[in-house]
Amino acid sequence: MGTAAVHLLLLLGLLHAGPGGEGRKGWRRRGPAVRDRGEAAAAAAESFPLDFTAVEGNMDSFMAQVKSLAQSLYPCSAQALPHDLRLHLLHNASVTCNDGSPAGYYLKESKGSRRWLLFLEGGWYCFNRENCDTRYDTMRRLMSSREWPATRVGTGILSSQPEENPHWWNANMVFIPYCSSDVWSGASSKSEKNEYAFMGALIIQEVIKELVGKGLSTAKVLLLAGSSAGGTGVLLNVDRVAEQLEEMGYQGIQVRGLADSGWFLDNKQYRRTDCIDTITCAPTEAIRRGIRYWNGIVPERCKLQFKEGEEWNCFFGYKIYPTLRCPVFVVQWLFDEAQLTVDNVHLTGQPVQEGQWLYIQNLGRELRNTLKDVTASFAPACLSHEIITRNHWTDIQVKGTSLPRALHCWDRSLHESNKNGKAPLKGCPIHLIDSCPWPHCNPSCPTIRDQFTGQEMNVIQFLMHMGFDVQKMAQQQGLEPSKLLGMLSSGN
C-alpha cells in the first residue's frame, strides 16, 4: 500500500477514534474517498501535515486540507467528479407546472453520503388569471419546464466545493425548480375550469417519492431548504415531508428546515395601494386571494390556530413557526428588499424621505422582535434578498460568526441533543441577530452600488444617499456627529 494511502487511512482512524462525535461521524459518511485502494496504492508517496487540533475552530481550513489530500490521491477521478445537477422530470405526469408541462428536479448524488439537501427555488407568485397571464409572458421558466436546461451548477449551499460550502459540499444535492407560482402550497390540477395548475405542495411530495428509490431511503438527515417564496415553502412543507417519510416507513430520517428570506411580515404598507398586481398588493391580501385561487393547503397544526377562511396567516413565519414540529433555522435580512417592495418603499436611487427612513428603521425593529423566540436564526442588518445559494454567502457575519459556521453549530446542537432547554454548545452560537439599527450597519453586508454610476458605496455614502441626516441622528443618539460617523464606518 502506498504512503499516501497509509496517511489517508491514518487520518480516518484518528477521526474515528478521537474525540468530537460530530466530526467523526460526518467523516464516516464521506467514505467514498477511500473506496478504490488500488488507485490509492498507485499514487505517488507524499506527506500531508494535517492539524487536527484546529478542526472545531476552523472547519473551512480543515476541509480545504482534506480536499487537497483527496485530489492528490486521486488526481484523475477528482477532476471527473460530477459538479452539475442533472434534470429529472417526474415520472408521474399528472403532477405538473402551471402550464401542464411535467414538474421535475435536479439531482447530484453523492454516493456514500447519508445527508440530503433539497432546495426549493423562489420567485414571487401570481394570484389571479390576469397576473398569471402576465407572469407566463414575462417569466415563463417559473411556470413551465419546457425550456429548462439539462443541467445546473450548484452555488452557495448547493456547491460541491468545500471552499464555497464548508459543511454540506458532500451531501446529495437536489434543486427543485419553482414552476407552480403558489408559494409551494397549491394542490389543484389544470382543467377546463382552471387555465393553470397550482401543484407546489404535490410536487414536493412526488419528488420525495422518487428520491426514496435513489437513495433517500437510507438518509440520516434531510434538510429542506429554500429562498424567498421557497423559504416560505419550507415553513409550509417541512412537517408534511417528515410525516410523509414516516408514513412510508422511514422514521429514522431526521427532517429539518432552512428558510432563507421567506420570513415575511403582514405589516401595514408604507403607502397603501390597490391590489392590482403582485408588486403593489399588500402581502396579506395577495395571499388571501392566492390561497383560494391555488386551492392552497397549509399544515393542519397551524390551520387549527385560526378561523376558517383565515388560513392565509400560516404563510407568515412568526405565526406558523410556533406550530412546527421539525427544527427550522431561519435566515432573514432585517431589511429585506422583497418586504420593502410589497410595503411600497421603492429605493429607486433618489434620497428617501424622512417618513420612508423611519419606516425602514421600524421594519428592522419589527422583524427583530419576531425572531426573538426563534431558537436558530441568522439575521444581518443588511438591505438585500436571498443568500444561501449566493457564492458570497460565506462572507456575511453576525457578531463574528458566518452563516455556514452557524449552520454547522446548529447541526451539532441537534446531533448532540442539546435542543431541549440545555445550554448551547460553547463557542458555537445559533441565535444571531444584529442589534444595530440601520440598513448596512453590519460591515460584512453585501456590496451596494449606486444605481446610476455603478460605483460601490460604503456605509456612510449609502446612508447619505438614502437621505440619512447625520446631525439629526447624532442629536437623537446623544452623540457628536464625528463620533456617529466613526461608529458607522466601523459597523458598530
Residues with catalytic annotation?
A: 228, 336, 385
| Cα gap 96→355, rounded to integer Å | 45
HSE, CB side, 13 Å, CA atoms: give it for residue 262: 33
**Is 331 in contact with 389 (CB distance < 8 Å)?**
no
DSSP assignment of 405-473, as one string? HHHHHHHHHHHTT--SSPPPPTT---EEE----STT-STTSPPEE-TTT--EE-HHHHHHHTT--HHHH
Say if residue 349 is exposed, middle or buried (CB neighbours under 10 Å; 0-12, 13-18, 19+): exposed
| Cα gap 209→249, rounded to integer Å | 12
Picking from 427, 438, 377, the residue whose alpha carbon sits closest to that of residue 400 is 427
Please state, as a whole number, how many other Cβ atoms lie within 10 Å of the Cβ of residue 447.
11
Q: How far apart are the first and last CA of the chain?
A: 56
Picking from 11, 4, 48, the residue whose alpha carbon sits closest to that of residue 31 is 11
Amino acid at 386: E
Grid cell, residue 143, equals 411556470
Backbone angles phi, psi at 336, to 5 degrees: -75, 130
Torsion of CA 261, 267, 272, 275, to 10 degrees: 60
Grid cell, residue 196, equals 393553470
| Cα gap 367→359, rounded to integer Å | 12
- Grid look-up 477521478 returns 77
Backbone angles phi, psi at 349, to 5 degrees: 105, -15
DSSP E strand boundaries for 121-162: 151-153
| Cα gap 434→196, rounded to integer Å | 42
